[in-house]
Amino acid sequence: MADRDSNSFLWFLAGLGIGAIAGVLYAPRSGDETREALRSRAEEGRDFVRDRARQARDQASQWADRGRDVLTQQKDQFRSAYEAGRQAYQEATRPESTTATNQP
């Protein structure tokens, strides 16, 4: 479902870009002005894409760091629970073995 939505959005952006280019080409400007406008729009688009890519990279890095922190926390909790269970088992089995060896 997400693939279909993102694919539709990409087609929308492609149509938007084609429409913008067609509008600029049919505008009443000289060739130099039109080429400069196209170049300017292309640079703006490139800057926008770079900015969005940087934002996406930062977001992915934050998610990875958060995931790493949660995993570390879960490992620490599991390790503590394991140690508490092991200690409780040793304490529970120790008195029985001592009383069994003291009785004939």
Task: Give the number of other Cβ atoms within 10 Å of residue 29's Cβ.
Answer: 13
Sketch the domain layout of the chain as residue ranges. Answer: 2-102
Determine the pLDDT at residue 96: 56
Residue 103: the pLDDT is 54
The pLDDT value given to residue 3: 61
Judged by DSSP in three states, 101 sits in helix
pTM of the complete model: 0.46
Per-10-residue mean pLDDT of the chain, 104 residues long, equals: 70 88 74 82 92 94 95 95 92 66 52
Position 38 scores a pLDDT of 81
Please give the structure tokens belonging to residue 20.
Answer: 């913008």
User: Residue 17's pLDDT is what?
Assistant: 87
The C-alpha atoms of residue 20 and residue 101 are separated, in whole angstroms, by 91
Which is nearest to 25 in space by CA: 41, 44, 11? 41
Task: Output the CA–CA distances (angstroms, integers) from residue 70 to 33, 55, 62, 63, in the order listed.
Answer: 55, 22, 12, 10
